[in-house]
Amino acid sequence: MFSVTFTGFRTIEQAKAFASWYSGCGEQDAPLWMEEHAGVTSCNADGRQDVTPDGVVVSLRIVEAAT
């Protein structure tokens, strides 16, 4: 079995919002979903993928909305 892990979230709310979007809501634009649910204006993979014995870790760049 292999896995893909996304890292880079700064809060548990960001991680949960991304997981909720990813697990089947049908949205195609993560930044829109993340902005509405976790105050994020940008959520992009930074292009780096680290291969581990268990799978791939994809790091995300998270930009939070100004407060």
pLDDT recorded at residue 23? 64
Question: Which residues in the chain land under pLDDT 50?
Answer: 26
pLDDT recorded at residue 37? 85
pLDDT recorded at residue 1? 60
Q: By the 8 A CB rule, do 54 and 3 touch?
A: yes
pLDDT recorded at residue 24? 56
